[in-house]
Amino acid sequence: MTAVESRPAGVVLTPSPGGHRPFGARVKAFVALTKPRIIELLLITTVPVMFLAEQGVPDLWLVLATCFGGYLSAGGANALNMYIDRDIDALMDRTSQRPLVTGVLTPREGLVFGLTLAVVSTLWFGLLVNWLSAALSLGALLFYVVVYTMILKRRTTQNIVWGGIAGCLPVLIGWSAVTNSMSWAAVILFLVIFFWTPPHYWPLSMKVKDDYARAGVPMLPVLASNKVVAKQIVLYSWVMVAVSLLLTPLGYTGWFYTAVALATGGWWLWEAHALLNRAKAGATGAKLKEMRLFHWSITYVSLLFVAVAVDPFLR
């Protein structure tokens, strides 16, 4: 998303004071710092929960306020993540064009931008939504920046497992925005995203494990065989699908959500076991087809949470 010349990964371009950095490129770079495509997924898990909490259509102003606050908060967390990780981002092909690596923005600009979004988003939630949602939003930001980025990411293969908690909190934020309280329904959906995150991210990590190895980031596929990673994916997948089915017997959802959860969960398990079978057979490279599960994981969570939103109207 930045207008820069191509260059080898690992070469950091630092703009000189007063150097020419086109306005349009800088605007795009600031937007890129927020990682908009990742935030899309966070909003997909936030808005449907608001419909479930309301058991109908929530106040549209509240939905907009929650989405905008969520964008600011997640954007601030992502900007601070890029500020902290700019050294390893320069070593990986996948991240070598990020604004703080290419020099379109300075590290100081990235830091100030991230901190500003953190403060503004917290006040936005507190003043326009409620303070419980503000606390959850700030907690998600701090967990992602401090616990995941600063502590776990470079130290353990469990980084994405526990660091993924930050990505689960938008579910709680969506519920609390409507009710100013918590519920077991929100906790169950929180756990769905918790168990979804590793089997969603590990296939991508398998694809780009050379990048992570070059940067010294101990993602599980870097240190374990494809078969071991695929077994972990299958394990988390079964737990995820089982947890997703708890909403109905506890009385929070009806037949429509159950049907969607069974259909999409069944297809997920089919893909997860297919990946494991290919890994056991020694498939590598394009034959492993690990990205099939990664792409399906995005479709799965989108369909499941659409069902969360639609189900109250069909009961």
Mean pLDDT of the chain: 92
The predicted structure's pLDDT at residue 13:
46
- Average pLDDT on 244-259 reads 96
Task: Name the pLDDT band for 156 (thresholds 50, 70, 90).
Answer: very high
What pLDDT is stored for residue 24 in this prediction?
A: 84
* pLDDT above 70: residue 123: yes
List pLDDT tens digits, range 159-186. 999 999 999 999 999 999 999 999 999 9
Query: What is the predicted pLDDT for the residue at 19?
Result: 52
**Contact call for residues 165 and 149 (beta carbons, < 8 A):** no
pLDDT at res. 3: 33
How far is it, in rounded angstroms, from Cα 125 to Cα 156?
A: 33
* Two structure tokens written together for 207: 């694809």
Distance between CA atoms of residues 49 and 172, nearest Å: 8
Enter the tokens of residue 9. Answer: 């990964």
With a cut of 80, say whether residue 314 has pLDDT above it.
yes
Instruction: Determine the pLDDT at residue 38.
Output: 82
Q: Which of 41, 96, 108, 59 is nearest to 214 (CA)?
A: 96
Q: How confident is the model at residue 20 (pLDDT cuts 50, 70, 90)?
A: low
Residue 204 corresponds to which tokens in the numbers above? 């991508």
At 47, list the tokens. 């808005």
Concatenate the DSSP letters of all residues of 52-96 into one string.
HHHTSPPPHHHHHHHHHHHHHHHHHHHHHHHHHTHHHHTT-GGGT
Q: Read off the amino acid at residue 56.
A: G
- d(CA 274, CA 256) in angstroms, rounded, equals 27
Least confident of 2-11, 41-50, 90-99, 238-247: 2-11
pLDDT > 70 in the chain, percent: 94
pLDDT reading at 10 higher than 90: no
pLDDT at 278 (0 to 100):
97
Q: What's the average model confidence in pLDDT over 10-31? A: 68
Q: Which residues lie below 8 Å from residue 233, measured CB to CB, with a gap of 6+?
A: 198, 199, 202, 203, 272, 275, 276, 293
Q: How far apart are CA 297 and CA 18, in angstroms?
A: 45
Global pTM exceeds 0.85: yes
